[in-house]
Amino acid sequence: MTPTRRLVCSAALATLATITLPFSGAFAQDAFPTRPMKLVVPYAAGGGTDAIARLVAQGVSEKLGQNLTVENNGSAGGNIATQQAASAAPDGYTVLMANQGPMVVNPHLFKSVKIDPLTAFDPLTLITAAPLVVVVPKNSPYKTVKELIEYGQKNPGKLTYGSAGNGSASHLATVLLAQEAKFDAVHVPYKGAGPALNDFLGGRMDFMVTTVPSVLGLIESHDARVLAVTSKTRAKKFPDVPSVAESGWPAYEATAWYGFAVPKGTPKDIADKIRTATVETIKNGVVRERLENEGAEPIGNSPEEFAAMMKAESARWAEIIGKSSIAMN
């Protein structure tokens, strides 16, 4: 081949490369996901957060054609799992189950938190929000939430309650209840609602404020009795159960919420694909029915709306935690 012909061929190949490379990149993103993804849940298996995570993950897996596998880690109030998710490659293959504790409470509660969850992740969507329930074991002497609180007021430090972990929705909902009703109780944190409820059944605590999915089976089997819901008004799931607000503490309100987020810098088209699959999952069919049956409300808002909500929640819980004077190492 002559030098001139070699030069022409090289130029043609270079031109072809500049044409095909961008197309190949676009094709790779269009094909996402090409392998299983991971959903990091910062609580132990068996609790309310885990139940909702697995329910939604199954639907997202079906829509994206790849498994979204749940990985649980409730250590350090969920901080370790959250930090690991934040440091994962921003490629869409790691998704965080973002909820109240790790995202907006722990930065104000734990001195050892090494990231700002509000800036370390790109929010995708708020999946659902739901009231919690105040429950006691079936043999408890307390028949109403007022009886429980009045005992706590008259006997400081004599009541014991468990939670899904320091900074969890169940923990902070109880802290807020104690603030509003002016009573003291001893907190026993666990690595998820599941382990806490095991001790609850064993009679090793007086009460819990916990998520509906985590305790629904025990309520239906009459091993737990619901005294109140934490929403302002009664919940559709428990129409005969009063709210804490209507029981004498009108300013009280607490909810548990759950959303999806991905590591900061995840390509927008990939993030959008995960979000679309998530919203379609929670808005239709069996998943929507399951959420509503467990007292939750499917939401599926925009990333911007989810980010704004978390910012407001962070400010709210910073004030509550400041008043309570609780802090962790």
The domain spans of the chain are 37-130+257-324, 131-247
For 37-130+257-324, CATH number? 3.40.190.150
Give the whole-angstrom CA distance, residue 248 versus residue 204: 27
Give the whole-angstrom CA distance, residue 49 versus residue 101: 11
Quote the pLDDT of residue 327: 63
Closest CA to 136 of 207, 222, 195: 207
Tell me which residues of the chain have a pLDDT lower than 70.
1-30, 327-329
Is the fold of 37-130+257-324 the same as that of 131-247? yes
Q: Mapping DSSP to helix (H, G, I), strand (E, B) and coil, where does residue 173 land?
A: helix
What are the pLDDT digits (tens) for 31-46? Answer: 899 999 999 999 888 8
**Partners of 136 in the beta sheet?**
225
Which residues, other chains included, contact 92 with Cβ-Cβ below 8 Å and sequence gap of 6+?
Answer: 32, 33, 37, 262, 266, 267, 270, 271, 273, 274
Question: Rounded to 5 degrees, what are φ and ψ at 98?
Answer: -95, 120
**Partners of 69 in the beta sheet?**
38
CATH 3.40.190.10 fits 131-247, yes or no: yes
Angle between helices 145-154 and 169-181 (to 10 degrees): 70
